[in-house]
Amino acid sequence: MGKVGEENAGDARTRLVVALREAGAGDVSALRRVYGLTSAKLFGICLRISGDREAAEDILQDVYVKIWRRAATFDAARASPVSWLATIAHNAAIDWRRAQPRRDTAPEGALGTVADDAPQADEVMVQDEERLRLLACLNGLERQQAEAIRSTFLGGLTYQQLADHLQTPLGTIKSWIRRGMLKLKVCLGDG
Amino acid sequence: MADPHLSPEHESLAAELALGVLEGPDRAEALRLTLSDPAFAAEVEAWRRRLSPLLGTVVAAVPSPRVWNAVEARIGEGGEMLPSARLRSLRLWRGAAFVSGAIAAGLALILVSGPPAPSVVVVPPATSIAVSQLSGADSSATMAVAYDPQKGLLRLGAAALEGSAKSPELWIIPEDGVPRSLGIVRADGDEITVDAGLRRFMSDGATLAITMEDASSAPHKAPSAAPVLAGKFSII
């Protein structure tokens, strides 16, 4: 990416950090700016994991109420603002999936969308080195391990759901993921 | 960083909780550990940070305008307590502690809040009911709590908790790490009498925590989600 793009990403990140800080001080219009900068990305995460547009909108609503309440605790020195927000959305969507076992089946498109997951240039969401490092480490795993980690995390699948989908024994799936996660931790340099 | 306190099983469980692959009893066990074991909770957080950049690869989609309208309605117009209101309610509780100081004699308990902002209210020797607050690991909500060990009476201040369809369920987690439900409580202040059978757990080293749960099926055997508030009991 060129220098101009980097500056844009940096500007967007700065705007987001400022908006979060002001939201944390109780400014609703600042939360509106956070929403404007991030709602499409967070909605994508909720939609991907819930597989249901209406549910995803309910989850997203809860996510921004959580963000409002937690904004004051965000520490820009410890986390990228987008990663922090995306994690809140991911957790909320997973909580929703696990809370309804009957509807908790693999949503359409939860799997086999690896092509969609290719990094995309995105003004706000460019996460620079962190993401490149994680993707490089995933690429260094055995293909099955990397795909199991990717598809469970991004698709909101349980061990059992991935095992069913791949028609592979549960024990094998667990072993791929556990070994993959161990290697990932070492590769990321904090194992 | 490898944590010497975590067994390989728990390290693996922390990674699995962050990844989202757990369900049923395994998920309940992992959520329970996030309440009772700070090293475990820290490892889950570390994994969430490690994996989070991957979320940047998900394709974006535009939500309908009703989402923002609903968010705005929920956080505005008194639906949400502002920090100043929370402080006011804490002060009220401190006042209440002085007033009811004569009730209990001898044993005083104090709740020491967890991270990020330990905030212990120093209680004058004349009062034997201690007051402090429960706080969230990543939330700005707090709750003032006072316990009268003689009557088994637990008083909870108001807290700005998630205003969803879920209700706050209070847990006592003694040193064995197993959460016992004290039942659903009101988020706008409540007073409950702890069941006689559970009072022995209200002791030094125990953790009090609140998770958001389905009220219709409460009390539950185990929490189904991470705590929104937690704090530790210690006898002073």
Residues in a beta bridge with B132: B120, B145
The angle at the Cα of A82, spanning A104 to A132, to the nearest 5 degrees, equals 95
* B159 band by pLDDT with thresholds 50, 70 and 90: confident
Write the Ramachandran bin of A167: left for phi over 0, alpha for psi from -120 to 50, otherwise beta. left
In a domain, B62, yes or no: no
Instruction: Tell me what the mean pLDDT of segment B170-189 comes to.
Output: 84
Please give the pLDDT value at position B20: 96
Instruction: Tell me what the mean pLDDT of segment B75-80 comes to.
Output: 57
Please indicate, yes or no, whether residues B47 and B91 belong to a single structural domain of this protein: no
Please indicate, yes or no, whether residues B87 and B40 belong to a single structural domain of this protein: no
Range of the domain at B21: 8-57
End-to-end Cα spacing for chain A: 30
Among candidates A70, A119, A122 on the partner chain, residue whose Cβ is nearest the Cβ of B140:
A70
Do the chains contact at A87 and B140, CB–CB below 8 Å? no
Architecture of domain A1-101: Orthogonal Bundle (1.10)
One-letter amino acid for residue B226 of the chain: A
Instruction: Tell me what the mean pLDDT of segment B218-231 comes to.
Output: 81
Residue B182 has φ and ψ, to the nearest 5°, of -100, 5
Question: Residues 170 to 209 of B: which have CB under 8 A from any A CB?
Answer: none
For A43, the token pair is 């909605």
Please give the pLDDT value at position A17: 95
Among candidates A28, A118, A177 on the partner chain, residue whose Cβ is nearest the Cβ of B57:
A118
Quick one: closest CA in A to B11, which residue? A182
Domain with CATH 1.10.10.10 in chain A: 128-191
The Cα B6–Cα B3 span in angstroms is 6
SS3 B137: coil
DSSP B204: T
For B127, the token pair is 């009062």
Residue A136 has φ and ψ, to the nearest 5°, of -65, -40
Please indicate, yes or no, whether residues B115 and B15 belong to a single structural domain of this protein: no
ipTM associated with this complex: 0.86
pLDDT by 10-residue block (mean), chain A, 191 residues: 55 92 94 96 96 95 94 89 95 91 53 45 55 91 96 95 95 97 90 45
In a domain, B70, yes or no: no
Instruction: Tell me what the mean pLDDT of segment B101-124 comes to.
Output: 34
Do the chains contact at A90 and B57, CB–CB below 8 Å? no
CA distances (Å), B127 to each of A62, B153, B154, B155, B233, in order?
40, 16, 16, 15, 17
Q: Which residues neighbour B193 within 8 Å (Cβ) at sequence distance 6 or greater? A: B151, B152, B153, B154
Question: Residues 22 to 51 of A: which have CB under 8 A from any B CB?
Answer: 24, 26, 28, 31-32, 35, 39-41, 43-45, 47-48
In a domain, B213, yes or no: yes
A131 touches chain B (CB under 8 A): yes
Do the chains contact at B74 and A47, CB–CB below 8 Å? no
* B48 band by pLDDT with thresholds 50, 70 and 90: very high
Asked if CATH classification 3.40.50.2020 holds for the domain at A128-191, the reply, yes or no, is no
Q: How many domains does chain B have?
A: 2
A77 touches chain B (CB under 8 A): no
Please give the pLDDT value at position A106: 53
Please give the pLDDT value at position A183: 96
In a domain, B97, yes or no: yes
